[in-house]
Amino acid sequence: MPGIIEISVGQLLLALLFILVAQASSFIYQLGLNRDILIGTVRTFAQLFLMGYVLTWIFRSTTVWIVVGVFAVMVFSAVFIVKGRVKESQIPYIVPTFLTMLISYFATAIFVSGMIVDSTPWWEPRYFIPAGGMVIGNSMSALAIALERLFRDMRQGREIVEMRQALGADYREASQDIFRSAVKAGMIPSINAMMGVGLVFIPGMMSGQILAGADPLIAIRYQIVVMLMLVGSTAVTSVVVMLIVRRRCFGSGEEVLLTPR
Amino acid sequence: MSALLEISNLSFGYEGSSSPVFEGLDLSVREGEFILVKGPSGAGKSTLLRLICRLNKPLAGTILFQGKDIAAIPPARLRSAVIYVQQTPQMIDASVSHNLLLPFSFASNASKKRPKMEELQAMLREFYLDGVTLEHSALKLSVGQKQRLAIMRALLQEPVLLLLDEPTSALDKESAAMVFAIMERLNFAEGRTLITVTHLDYTPETVHTRICTLSGRTLMCQS
């Protein structure tokens, strides 16, 4: 099998043409995304190169705490990205979101790395960190969508929630439609990805393994594990976070705390 | 006779606001009474009703329902006995019967008797909803019809205390008269305890009411 074809700096810069097209679209149609595209591009270069160096160092690491520490930093960064997307100041949701993400993703990464892939030790960085990264990245988007939906619907549907409460519903019964809709909204992208994988798109991890010369049948097995892992961890994290945050939308007397903006 | 509802020294204010909406408010309601709360808009009439069923939290004061502090009663259990009908009637996107039976799906109402479809149909007529069928989409009804349906839905729960928030505010004269007639019948014929908030100059003809005026942060009731 031929070795991997290297991408030179010049070829890498050529890929910036895609960004020019995106910038032109934003400019012509006044989408207001020019600044975000620029920052996103710079961050993509900086973060990935930094990640490359850090990964090289981590993969050589033989200390469990370094691996776990890197994992915690990844979760912490994900929470800040979620915070930036979900602009909610009335309900304190950051701490429960962070703790749920940390526990749930940690359990998932241990399960995948230590039990399914059966790496030794369980925290073997070459498996543990990429598995964790995929889980965090995927669930982070799901959580941002679900939280945004929960807060929006609680605000817009406050009168309906209160109608149910006024007729004897507890806060869970009064907001169950909103809860379901928020969890579903967060889950749909992961489920759609399962529907389209291998048919509509070839996942990045699998393509990467094949490009690096791995046997496609082994790459497929890894990819299946990843897809199932993403759906499971997204479901658990979304449900737990939504349960905690929904309770926080109500006061001690179960009164709705979110006021119209 | 001991009071069904005893409000003492009640104060309420919105978060971040320096002056309270009202303070030191007292009110005692006996079983079978019909109380009309009047006052200018913004005086806190609706808030008073919302505090009685714990949809809002007071800054200070106590509310006793059947001799028990409402803060010690589980909210859902309190609201299955003290039912509040909102100013703007809210319906879910479903049929009239589904909306009427919605509260029976809540755990706190599990022991209540679920009415039969024939009973609901007969009740629709009593609430001047003759042309409305149980299969009708509730969202397609007029505001006046929704208001009567909301009162009917509340009554199906056999409330000990019924709180009506401006039940005629969005209605034409004819629909408002129908709602007034229903309220008077509920109190006179069925002996229900009602607290109704209204900005209208309405005085019932067939029943005795106590009129309270909420103005300047205090509540004054006729003896």
Question: Is any Cβ of chain B less than 8 angstroms from the Cβ of A260?
Answer: no
Residues in chain B: 223
Q: Say what the pLDDT of residue A110 is.
A: 85
Query: How far apart are the C-alpha atoms of A101 and B67, rounded to whole Å?
Result: 46
Q: Name, of A197-206, A213-222, B20-29, B194-203, the range with top average pLDDT.
A: B20-29
Q: Looking at the domain assignment, is residue A25 inside a domain?
A: yes
What does the pLDDT read at residue B179?
82
A229 & A110 share domain? yes
Chain A residues near residue B86 by CB distance under 8 angstroms: 159, 162-163, 166
Q: By percentage, how much of chain A surpasses pLDDT 70?
A: 98
- The total of structural domains in chain A comes to 2
Does residue A257 lie within any of the structural domains? Answer: no
Report pLDDT for B87.
Answer: 92
A74-101 pLDDT, tens digit per residue, is 999 999 989 988 888 889 999 999 999 8
Residues A35 and A80 reside in one and the same domain: no
| Least confident stretch, A102-106, A173-177, B80-84 | A102-106
Which ipTM was obtained for this model? 0.92
Whether A1 shows a pLDDT value over 60: the answer reads no
The model's pLDDT over A125-171, given as tens digits with 9 standing for 90+, comes to 888 888 888 888 888 889 999 999 999 999 999 999 999 999 999 99
First-to-last alpha carbon distance for chain A, in angstroms, is: 60
* Chain B residue closest in CA terms to A158: B90
Residues from chain B that touch A254, judged by Cβ atoms under 8 A, are 54, 75-76
A85 and A147 belong to one structural domain: yes
Output B172 or A43, whichever has higher pLDDT.
A43
Q: What does the pLDDT read at residue B1?
A: 58
Say if residue A32 is in the same domain as residue A75.
no
Measured from the Cβ of residue A183, the count of other Cβ atoms closer than 10 Å reads 21
pLDDT of residue A125: 87
The CATH classification number of B5-221 equals 3.40.50.300
- Provide the pairing of β-strand B210-215 with B218-221: antiparallel
Look at residue B62 in the predicted model and tell me its pLDDT: 96
A261 lies in a domain?
no
Where in the sequence is the domain holding A155, given as residue range(s)? 64-248
Residues A55 and A69 in one domain: no
Residue A44 shares a structural domain with residue A90: no
Residue A12 and residue A129 share a domain? no
Tens of pLDDT along chain B (223 residues)?
A: 579 999 999 999 887 777 888 889 999 999 999 999 998 888 899 999 999 999 999 999 999 999 999 999 999 999 999 999 999 999 999 999 999 999 999 999 999 999 999 999 998 988 888 889 999 999 999 998 999 999 999 999 999 999 999 988 777 788 788 888 888 888 888 888 999 998 777 777 777 888 899 887 888 888 6
Query: Which tokens sit at A98?
Result: 């962070």
What pLDDT sits at residue A3?
63
Say which residues have a Cβ less than 8 Å from residue A164's Cβ, sequence separation at least 6.
Answer: A173, A174, B102, B103, B106
Do A172 and A204 belong together in one domain?
yes
What one-letter code names the amino acid at A178?
I
Residues A167 and A43 both lie in one domain: no
Nearest residue in chain A measured CA to CA from B154: A167
pLDDT band at A227 (very low <50, low <70, confident <90, very high): confident
Same domain, A15 and A140: no
Tell whether A217 is within 8 A of chain B (Cβ): no
**A11 assigned to some structural domain:** yes
CA distance A125 to A66: 9
Q: Which of B85, B90, B157 sits opposite A168 (nearest CB)?
A: B157
Residue in chain A lying closest to B92 (CA) = A160
Give the mean model confidence (pLDDT) for residues A27-36. Answer: 93
Final residue in a domain of this structure, among A10, A42, A60: A60
**Alpha helix ranges (H) inside chain A:** 9-14, 16-28, 34-59, 64-85, 94-110, 125-156, 158-166, 171-174, 176-196, 204-211, 216-248
Q: By CA distance, what is A157's nearest residue in B?
A: B90
Domain co-membership, A46 together with A129: no
Whether residue A76 sits in one domain with residue A8: no
The helix (H) or strand (E) run that includes residue B155 is helix B143-155
The structure tokens listed for B65 are 């329902």
pLDDT computed for residue B204 by the predictor: 73
Chain A residues in contact with B53 by the CB 8 A cut-off are 166
**What's residue B223's pLDDT?**
60
A221: Cβ contacts below 8 Å, ≥ 6 apart = none
Q: CB distance A165–B103 less than 8 Å?
A: no
Give how far B79 is from chain A: nearest CA, Å: 5
